[in-house]
Chain A
Amino acid sequence: MADSVIRLAWITLGAYAAVGVALLIPIHRIMMPIIDVTTVGASWGFRVAVSPGLIFMWPLVLRRWLQVRMSDSPSEERPQALSPRGIRTAHIWLTRAIAVAVPLVAAMAIASRPNHEPTPSPAFYAPTTLTGNATGEIFPGLPIAINIRSDSSPRKLHVDVHEDLNIPNLQLYWSNSEAQPMSIDRAERLDALWGPATLTYDLPTASTPNEWLVLYSAARQEVVSVARLATTEKE
């Protein structure tokens, strides 16, 4: 649901901006000299500087151009009304709101931040351990099968993803660090997992007693799952 709404919003925004881009040349060549005579003979630098605003504000430009054309009064200037009292009032209320809301939000967010002590759940580390030449789904609950060939040189790691993972920007890392809990700081990134696919990697070095595969969501900046590769235990 959220995906569809956000997708639709981006498409709408893209279409809106595309119209603005398409109108840029007519706006510069036809409309702006009518709206504001001082733009006649303006530098290219000026045209580049105002173009992002024109792409964003094109309906207002179009409306003003039509108003001027229909009013038969070329280059009529907009009345320069400024209501300093109204702006002062808005300014005061905005600063008051910021003065109250900012410390409140910051304090609440910091007070409720999660405990960063290492507390991996027992299920976090996969019970399944691949040994020697073996195949298995070693990440609990995830449709990822791992096949490892440790008798080839270099060793081959086959990753078979059966379905869409629905985990944003999932990265596969290999690590031989003994440090716990597992982090990707000392791990080597193998690849991103792009949904259903079969991928093959050369494992970086000779096998060690502590080899791990780590699934890491770059978007969430968190380790999703970790599995051990006990490839030294030949069967």
Chain B
Amino acid sequence: MAGAYKAVGWNRQKRIYDAAIFVILLTIVAGYGITTFATHPGFTPETFIIRATALAALILLHIILCIGPLARLNPTFLPLLYNRRHLGVAMFVLALVHALFTVITFHALGPANPLLSIFTAYRMDYTSGRISDFPFEPFGFLALVIFFVMAATSHDFWLKFLGASFWKTLHLGVYLAYGAIIAHMALGIFQSETNPIYPLLLGIAFIILVSLHLMAGIKERRADASIAKAAADGFEATCPASELREGCGKTVNVAGERRALFLHKGRVYALSNVCRHQGGPISEGKILDGCITCPWHGWQYSPDAGVSPPPFHEVIETYPVRIEDGIVYVKPEALPLEQKSPGVALAQETA
């Protein structure tokens, strides 16, 4: 949450998370090294570094892209989401090492300017009709630029400075980078490396990635399908009050937007479902120490006014709520920011 800025707000969870990243990377590089040097003793160290860093970055990229849908499908995976930015920065560093060694090995030892050579060295025969004649290095360069932008703007300072919408949109560029990486590989290494194991493994990873996104999308669509019905006074019916659990949230639809309902100390409150930090789903969080806690990174808000506990000053919208015939009604128009919502007593209304 907003406070005095540090490079990294270290805590025990982040240290464990980063140690796990380090162990995974070490395992990938060591495993690849042992396999490669055992089967190809003539492999040069430069080629090993180029390929090992590319492989590790590719695996990290797939893990990063899988974490989002996994967390949507099963809350067990939410801890993976907590420090995903460190995964992203680690992936950028690996991609950068890969790019530097590639440029030095293949472009910096001759008369050509390496910065020009990476764009002009390869065949650029657009008229041959063969997609394999298309140059592959510009795709890798494009992906590296996107990863740089994402890594450079990964600090919370940038999230606040750019605004959550723009920041999230900027970071959706990871999908474009993923497409560029696949083109980079298909037009590059797959042209000379004929062992089918590489496209096969990539294909399996791609199918897993797309399947997870598809399953998460279907789940979200089903949740959104329950269209609210408007009542005469502007309130919209959302869900039976009996579905609410003390200290827990529930996602409902009001005027086509998701809202969070929380039952706290016997009273029902309606709030925005969008965390001020990274847009996390508030309704999937819990009430801890009297505050609604976002499941993604632990940002907190009071259930009645939607404000963060001191010294923080983030605030989310709250909405008028009432219960009638056991159904929770929510008004689409928010209360003025920071105004306390009285909520509605569950026991009294349902009695």
Contacts and interface: CB of A to CB of B under 8 A. Distances in A.
Contact of B6 (A35, A43, A64, A217): A43
B192 A109 contact: no
Contact of A46 (B5, B110, B132, B185): B5
Nearest to B159: A80
Contact of B157 (A39, A90, A98): A39
A106 B183 CA distance: 7
A101 B179 contact: yes
A192 B110 contact: yes
A45 B182 contact: no
A198 to B, nearest CB: 15
A84 B19 CA distance: 32
A154 B183 CA distance: 48
Contact of B121 (A101, A168, A193): A168
B37 interface: no
A110 B105 CA distance: 25
Interface stretch (B20-28, B231-239, B271-279, B341-349): B271-279
Given A82-B279, A98-B175, A195-B111, A113 B163 contact: no
Question: How many A residues are at the interface, by size bracket?
Answer: 35 or more
A101 B179 CA distance: 8
Contact of A168 (B112, B175, B191, B202): B112
B219 interface: no
A35 B172 CA distance: 26
A157 B217 CA distance: 67
Interface in A5-50: 6-7, 10, 35-36, 38-39, 41-43, 45-46, 48-50
Nearest to B157: A50
B5 A95 contact: no
Given A92-B217, A219-B117, A114 B132 contact: yes
Contacts, number: 208
A85 interface: yes
Nearest to B220: A88
A90 B172 contact: yes
A185 B7 contact: no
Interface string B172-202: 1001101100110111001110100001001
Which of A87, A90, A165, A194 has its CB near the most chain B CB atoms (within 10 A)?
Answer: A87
Which of B175, B185, B202 has its CB near the most chain A CB atoms (within 10 A)?
Answer: B175
Given A38-B3, A81-B164, A105-B186, A169 B106 contact: yes
Contacts of A118: none
Interface in B1-32: 2-8
Nearest to B174: A94
Interface string B133-173: 00000000000000011011101011011111100110010
B54 to A, nearest CB: 15
Given A78-B163, A194-B111, A95 B2 contact: no
B186 A106 contact: yes
B45 interface: no
A3 B187 CA distance: 22
Which secondary structure dominates where chain A touches chain B? helix
Interface string A38-81: 11011101101110110011001100100000000000011111
B190 A85 contact: no
Interface string B108-120: 1111110111011
Contact of A6 (B3, B6, B116, B163): B116
Which of A101, A165, A218 has its CB near the most chain B CB atoms (within 10 A)?
Answer: A218
Given A113-B194, A169-B107, 15 more contacts: A6-B115, A38-B5, A39-B157, A45-B8, A57-B158, A80-B160, A81-B164, A82-B274, A86-B165, A87-B165, A94-B172, A97-B175, A113-B190, A168-B120, A192-B110
21 contacts: A36-B160, A36-B161, A43-B6, A50-B155, A52-B151, A80-B164, A84-B258, A98-B179, A103-B206, A105-B179, A106-B185, A106-B199, A108-B186, A109-B191, A110-B190, A110-B199, A113-B190, A116-B192, A169-B108, A169-B117, A185-B42
Interface of A: 2-3, 6-7, 10, 35-36, 38-39, 41-43, 45-46, 48-50, 52-53, 56-57, 60-61, 64, 77-88, 90-92, 94-95, 97-99, 101-103, 105-106, 108-110, 112-114, 116, 164-165, 168-171, 185, 192-195, 217-221
